[in-house]
Structure 1
Amino acid sequence: MWLCAGLLLLCFQGCLSLTGPGSVTGYVGGSLHVQCQYRQSYKGYMKYWCRGPHDTTCKTIVETDGSEKEKKSGRVSIRDRVENSTITVIMEDLREDDAGSYWCKIQTSFIWDSWSRDPSVRVTVHVSPATTPMETTLPATTATLSLANSRQTLRISTNAVFFFQL
C-alpha cells in the first residue's frame, strides 16, 4: 500500500514540474507560438519538442543544448528562456498535416527503461484552413447634407474628401 502511494506521489510531482497550454490553434500558412513553463530546478537541462501520441515514443523535432540560444530545425524553432523558466516553440508556415499531438519535454534521464520518464506535457495542435479577407466594393457616391439655419452645404464623398460650399 505504501509503495503504491509513494509511486503515485513521484508521478504527481513529475506532472507538476512542467505545464503547457493543452491545445493551440493556428492557420494554414501562419505561425504558432507555444509556451511551456517548468520549475526553476530544471534550469540548464536540455529541452525538446517532439511529436507522437505518447510521450515515451514521440519523435524529436527540435531541441535545445542547455543554453538560451534559439535552435531551429526546418520550420520549427525552440528557445529556453531561463529568466522566466519558459520553453518557447514556434512552428512556421503551418500545414494541415502539422495537426496532432506534440510534447514539451525536459531531458533528465539518459537511461531509457520503463521506469525512467522525462517530465513532459502534451500539447494538441489544431490547424485550421487559411482565412481569406472579405473584399467589399462600394459604388462611388456623394452625400449632400444641408446644415439647418445655414447656407452651408456639406458634401461627403466615399473617398473621404470633404467639400464645403459657402
Structure 2
Amino acid sequence: RGFWNVPVWNYAKSVSVTGHVGGSVNISCKYPQSQRSHPRFLCRMMGNGDCNYETSVKESRRWRNEGKLSLHDDRAKQIFTVSFNHLTEGDSGEYWCGAESDWTSDHGYKVFINQINLTVTGE
C-alpha cells in the first residue's frame, strides 16, 4: 500500500466535482469490462506526483462505508461509485479511481481510470 506513481499514459477521463462544507458528493467511475473482476480503489494525488492510497472495495453491489468515504461497485454495469460525506475544505484536491490486480504481489498492477478534481466550498 502507500504511494503509487500515476503514469500519464493511463490517463482516461477527468471529472470536476464541487461540493459544500458539511455536505456530500457522489462520483461515478465507469471502467472497461477487462477490469470487471478486479477490486476498485481510490487514491489522492499528492504534490510530489504520488497517489496516496485511500481505500478499495472488493465486493460487487454492496456499499462499503469507511467514515467519510462510502464505496459501491456494480460490476454488472461496470460503475464504481464513491461518496464523499461530511465534506470539509481540506477534502478539496485531485483523486484517482482505478482497478487493481493483486497489489500485494510483485506482479500486481494498477489501472488508473478517472481523475477526479474535487472542490469543496464554504456553506
**TM-score > 0.5, shorter chain as reference:** yes
Task: For residue 125 of structure 1, report the CA deviation from its aligned partner.
Answer: 0.4
Structure holding more strand per residue: 2
Task: For residue 53 of structure 1, report the CA deviation from its aligned partner.
Answer: 3.2
Distance 1:53 1:122, change over 3 A: farther
Alignment match of 1:125 (pick from 108, 118, 121):
118
CA distance in 1, matches of 2:110, 2:81: 18
Distance 1:49 1:22, change over 3 A: same
Residue in 1 aligned with 2:57? 64
Residue in 1 aligned with 2:37? 44
Residue in 2 aligned with 1:102? 95
Deviation string 1:96-135 (CA, Å, 9 cap, x unpaired) is: 100001110110353569xx752212111000111xxxxx
1:64-103 superposed matches below 5 A: 64-103=57-96
Q: Equivalent residue of 1:68, what SS?
A: coil
Do 2:39 and 2:56's aligned partners in 1 also have CA atoms closer than 8 Å?
yes
Deviation string 1:120-153 (CA, Å, 9 cap, x unpaired) is: 12111000111xxxxxxxxxxxxxxxxxxxxxxx
Residue in 2 aligned with 1:30? 23
Q: Equivalent residue of 1:44, what SS?
A: coil
CA distance in 2, matches of 1:59, 1:69: 24
Count of residue pairs the alignment pairs up: 113
Normalising by the residue count of structure 1, what TM-score does the alignment of the two structures yield?
Answer: 0.59
Task: For residue 58 of structure 1, report the CA deviation from its aligned partner.
Answer: 1.6
Residue in 1 aligned with 2:4? none
Q: Equivalent residue of 1:97, what SS?
A: helix
CA distance in 2, matches of 1:109, 1:23: 29
Unpaired segments ≥5 residues, structure 1: 1-10, 131-166
CA distance in 2, matches of 1:109, 1:64: 13
Do 1:108 and 1:118's aligned partners in 2 also have CA atoms closer than 8 Å?
yes
CA distance in 2, matches of 1:66, 1:112: 23
Normalising by the residue count of structure 2, what TM-score does the alignment of the two structures yield?
Answer: 0.78
Do 1:63 and 1:71's aligned partners in 2 also have CA atoms closer than 8 Å?
no
